[in-house]
Amino acid sequence: MIPAVLTAVVSGITEPLEFTFLFIAPLLFAVHSVLAATMAAVMYTFGVVGNFGGGLLDFLFQNWIPMAKNHSNVMFTQIFIGLIFTVIYFFVFKFLIEKMNLKTPGREEDDVETKLFTKADYKAKKNMEANQNDENDMYMDQAIIILEALGGKDNIEELNNCATRLRVSVKDEKLLQPDSVFKQAGAHGVLKQGKAIQVIIGLSVPQVRDRVEELLKK
C-alpha cells in the first residue's frame, strides 16, 4: 500500500487505489467522487486556479514555484483546503469502512493476501456478474474463480473429476491462492499434495469442470 500511496502523491497516478475502490467497495469510490468534486468547487470559489491534475511534482513546478513570489496566498489557500479535506476523507472513510465492515486492503481474512486491483481485475469482476444473469452459464463464475485460484490456465497440467471433487495437476504449486479464494467460488475445501490438487465442490462438479475446460480452450 505504501508504494501505491507514494506514487499517487508524487506523480498523481491514482488508478491502483481507485480501481481497488471499484472492485472491493464501489460505495467508497462514489463518496470519493463527491468529495473530490466538492473540494475542486471549494478551491475554485476561493480563487485557487492552475493545473492540479497531477501529483506533488506537478504542483511544485507548474504552480507553487512559479506562483510563490506574487501569488503565495493562492498556494497557501490550496494547502489549507487540501488539509481540511484530508481530515474529512479520513473520518468519512473510517466511518463507512467500520460501519459496513468493508474488506479494504489490510482488513481481509487472515489467509487472504492484501492486493491492489487493476482495471483488468475490475472488468473480470463485471464479466462474472454478467454471467450470473445467464442460466446456461450458472457455473461459469465458479470456474473463473477456481481457475484463477489454481494459478491460471497456464498452470494447469491435467484436469479431471470424480463424483464430488475436481482433480487437478498443476505445474507450480506456489502459484496457488489461499483456500479462502476457492471457498469464495463455493468450494467446500481443498486438498493439496504437492502438485496434485483436489477441489471439493459437490455433485455439481461435472458442470464446473466443463466450464473450466471451456476457459482452458480460450
Output the nine-digit C-alpha cell for 181.
479464494
Same domain membership, residue 94 and residue 22: yes
Q: At 66, is the pLDDT very low, low, confident or very high (cuts 50, 70, 90)?
A: confident
The tens digit of pLDDT for each residue in 71-114 reads 888 888 988 999 999 999 999 999 998 888 877 777 765 555 55
Q: Which residue has the higher pLDDT, 47 or 8?
A: 47
Last residue of a domain, one of 43, 73, 100: 100
Give domain status of residue 117, yes or no: no
Give domain status of residue 58, yes or no: yes
At 150 the pLDDT is 95
Give domain status of residue 160, yes or no: yes
Mean pLDDT of 57-71: 82
Whichever domain contains 207, its CATH number is: 3.30.1360.60
Give domain status of residue 127, yes or no: no
Last residue of a domain, one of 100, 122, 148: 100
At 135 the pLDDT is 46
The range of the structural domain enclosing residue 55 comes to 2-100
Q: At 133, is the pLDDT very low, low, confident or very high (cuts 50, 70, 90)?
A: low
Same domain membership, residue 85 and residue 19: yes
Same domain membership, residue 146 and residue 68: no
Q: Which residue has the higher pLDDT, 3 or 89?
A: 89
Which strands, in side-by-side order, build the sheet including 165-170? 156-161, 165-170, 196-200, 189-193
- Name the residue among 32, 176, 198, 188 with its Cα closest to residue 113: 176
Give the number of domains in the chain. 2
Residues 93, 95, 96, 98, CA torsion sign = positive
Last residue of a domain, one of 100, 122, 154: 100
Same domain membership, residue 147 and residue 87: no
Mean pLDDT of 108-133: 58
Same domain membership, residue 96 and residue 32: yes
The 3-class SS string of 112-170 reads CCCCCCCHHHHHHHHHHHHHCCCHHHCCHHHHHHHHHHCCCHHHEEEEEECCCEEEEEE
Same domain membership, residue 146 and residue 77: no
Mean pLDDT of 170-183: 91
pTM of the complete model: 0.51
At 45 the pLDDT is 93
At 132 the pLDDT is 54
- State the alpha helices, DSSP H only, in 1-71: 2-11, 15-24, 26-45, 56-58, 65-67
Output the nine-digit C-alpha cell for 28.
467508497
Mean pLDDT of 144-169: 92
At 100 the pLDDT is 86
185 touches 192 (CB < 8 A): no
Output the nine-digit C-alpha cell for 214.
471451456
- Name the residue among 186, 28, 202, 39 with its Cα closest to residue 117: 28
Mean pLDDT, the chain, integer: 83
Q: Tell me the C-alpha distance between 161 and 46, whole Å.
A: 66
Catalytic residues: 162
